[in-house]
Amino acid sequence: MASANIETVNHTADLVKTSVSALLVVLSVVAFYYLSDLGGLAQWASLLSGLVMAIVVFFTSIHGKQLIAFAKDATREVQKVVWPTRKEATQMTLYVFAFVAIMATFLWFTDKTLEWLIYDLILGWKK
């Protein structure tokens, strides 16, 4: 029963952190346009500082930590991939091009055969 309260508190705290992060993004955009009279430096400083604060707040929440963990796992999985050599990649590309050329020729031949069969022989329409 005590753990349910802790989960609720954590869930509420994370919801607040995520909401604050979203609010900081909105406020930084509003400040960017509101400070247009002060010049570009003030605008960009307010926008970038607001976005940095929003990112920091977001990464302290559970969703941010899960995003970081996902990125680490994805990086680890990409490092496990055995990438093909240049020769293997070139060979596979040539195989694909050859298959596409053969398939296009087959489909063209089939289309022309059916066209001849239907229009010339069955219907008797001469071109």
Domain locations in the chain? 1-69, 80-127
pLDDT tens-place values along the chain, 127 residues long: 444 444 444 688 888 888 999 999 999 999 999 988 888 898 899 999 999 999 999 999 888 999 999 999 999 999 999 999 999 999 999 999 999 999 999 999 999 999 999 988 888 776 5
Q: How high is the pLDDT of residue 6? A: 44
| Cα-Cα-Cα-Cα dihedral sign, residues 49, 50, 53, 59 | negative
Q: How high is the pLDDT of residue 8? A: 47
Spatial CB neighbours of 28, under 8 Å, sequence gap ≥ 6: 46, 47, 48, 49, 50, 51, 53, 54
Report whether 24 contacts 57 (CB < 8 A). yes
pTM above 0.75, yes or no: no
Q: How high is the pLDDT of residue 29? A: 92
Q: How high is the pLDDT of residue 100? A: 98
Spatial CB neighbours of 126, under 8 Å, sequence gap ≥ 6: 120
Q: How high is the pLDDT of residue 7? A: 46
